[in-house]
Structures are given as C-alpha cells and as structure tokens.
Amino acid sequence: MNTHSPTELVVITGMSGSGKSVALTALEDLGFYCVDNLPPELLEAFIDLDRHDRVRKVAIAMDVRSAQSLPGLPRRLAALRSRDVHLTTLFLDSTTDTLVRRFSETRRLHPLSLQETDDQRRALTDAIEYERELLAELREQALVLDTSLTRAAQLRSQVKELVGATRTPMTLVFESFAFKRGIPMDADFVFDVRMLPNPHYDPLLKPLTGRDAPVARFLEASPDVLAMEEQIRTFLRHWLPHMERDHRSYVTVAIGCTGGQHRSVFLVERLAAHFGQDWVARVRHREADYWSRT
C-alpha cells in the first residue's frame, strides 16, 4: 500500500533574465529542496529519487539552457500530474525591452546567443523572441508572473504567496496598475478606469491612495465609479465559474488608471473584498513602490 504523503513539486520556468533564480531562492526559504537547470529528461527519475529519500517539497528551475529537450517537458509534467504529485508551474515573464536592458546592464550572454555580431542589441532581441517561441506552450500551461516592474523583494513575496494559494481550487489576483507604465503581461482580464473622476486633481487627495478613507469617500460619491464597479462584478460573476470549471487555478484581474494610485487601487480593494467571499482573493498594487517615492 502506498502510504507516503504527496510530493509537492514547483517547476519554475520562463524567460532568461526574468528572475527565476530569485524565485528559486524564495522557495528555498520555504523549505523546498531546490535544483537549478535540471534537464527535463531527468525530471521523473529525480522525483522518484527524492521520494525514496523522503523529500516532500521540491522546486526545480528549467529553461532554454535545456532547449533540445524542452519540447517534451509538457508531456512529462502531464505524466507527473497523473501521479501522486502536487504540481505547480510558474512562468516568469518580462517585456523584451526589460530583458534587453537587464542583459545589457549585467553584460551576461543570453543562452541562445550563438555568436558575436556588430549589432549586439538586434542579436539579443532576436534571441529573446526565439526563446518566447520555444517556451510558448509551457507559458500557456503555467501561472504567469510579469516581473518587468517587479523588484527582487517583491518577487520573493509573490512567489511565496502564490505557492501557498495554488493549493486552493482557484485563486483570484486583483492587481492595480498605471497605464503610463504599461499593461501587466500576466493579466487575464484588463479593465480601463481612466474615464472615472480622478482624485489626483484635488490637492488634499493627490498624495493619498485608493486605500485611504478620504479618497474612498470621494470615489464612492460618484455614480460612475459605482456603476463601473458593478459592471466589473457582473462580468466576473458570469465568467469566473466557467474558468473554474475549465480547471483554471489562477486568474489575474488587472484594473488600470493613469497613475495606478487612486481609482484602480480603490476598485481592486473593493473587488477583492467582494470576490474573496467565494474564492481565495489576493491584492497586488504594482505601483506601490512608485508612489511611495513620488
């Protein structure tokens, strides 16, 4: 009789330069046995070995350094899901411009860069886009984290929170953001609330955020704000059960305004409180560090 407890496996993959080493360190802090750059063809044998050694929490990073065997990884992960393995796959992503900047700053060579050329930026961009093609299927099957504007400390916190959250049937992440800094790449739904009344133009409210009571009172007094909130609720109430039946474990709802400080923050807090009654709901304010410095 098989009496051992399930193995908890987290597979971290994603774009080179997106923060996989930081994520792996975060899981090491949580007591995971961590391995970087394990070849996919060794995955099942490695899990069996760890079970023999009574290792119950394992985190493995895989990426295009194993490019030749990557195409078989989705099949191997599906095989593990059919066994007594609790599997979470995290895919870390960033915009191409962000990745180019990070490689340029660190002077690291991209793993798919084959040769030196006169136009190094073009060569690096081509390598990154080719990497996206190779990882496209893995991305579709994973929980995606956009690290373009995320600091290392923030990423560690997000990974620790998400690994715990994925044990529930479906987790909702409500994320506020500023359109002027780009749309989050990990968003499943994006709602634009820039047409709503803006507390930014009130000198008393400008330095505050959507979590502060004076801003909340200002926005609650607007019929348009309340109508927008109800329409987003109606949309999500209709479609979230469909996504849950489709075995989605993680859905990100992004709410954007101009600065990501007032309107989007207010609505994210309200929506998370509402939907948190039926699902696990998490809040992420992407620009939090930004407004603390301005």
What is the number of H-type helices and E-type strands within the chain? Answer: 10, 9
Place of tokens 């597979």: 11
Q: In this model, does residue 117 exceed pLDDT 60?
A: no
The string of pLDDT tens digits covering residues 119-172 is 667 788 999 999 999 899 889 888 899 999 998 988 998 898 888 765 556 889
Report the half-sphere exposure of 250 (CA within 13 A, side-chain side): 23
206 is in an annotated binding site: no
139 is in an annotated binding site: no
pTM of the model: 0.71
Q: Tokens for 281, please give them.
A: 């709901």
59-87 burial by CB neighbour count: b if 16+ within 10 A, else e? Answer: bbbbbbebeeebeebbebbeebeeeebbb
260 is in an annotated binding site: no
Higher-confidence residue of 234 and 72: namely 234
Q: Of all residues in the chain, what percent carry a pLDDT higher than 70?
A: 90
20 is in an annotated binding site: yes
**Domains of the chain, with CATH numbers?**
7-166 (3.40.50.300), 171-290 (no CATH)
Q: For position 67, what pLDDT does the model report?
A: 72
62 is in an annotated binding site: no
The string of pLDDT tens digits covering residues 11-32 is 999 999 999 999 999 999 888 9
39, 69 Cβ separation under 8 angstroms: yes
Place of tokens 């504007």: 149
CA distance 99 to 259: 24
DSSP 3-state of 275: helix
82 is in an annotated binding site: no
HEC-encoded secondary structure of 133-193? HHHHHHHHCCEEEECCCCCHHHHHHHHHHHHHHCCCCCEEEEEEEEHHHCCCCCCCEEEEC
259 is in an annotated binding site: no
18 is in an annotated binding site: yes
Q: For position 70, what pLDDT does the model report?
A: 78
228 is in an annotated binding site: no
21 is in an annotated binding site: yes
Least Cα distance to 84 among 159, 10, 146, 2 occurs for: 2
The string of pLDDT tens digits covering residues 236-291 is 999 999 888 876 778 999 999 999 999 999 999 999 999 999 888 999 999 976 66
Q: For position 294, what pLDDT does the model report?
A: 47
Q: In this model, does residue 96 exceed pLDDT 80?
A: yes
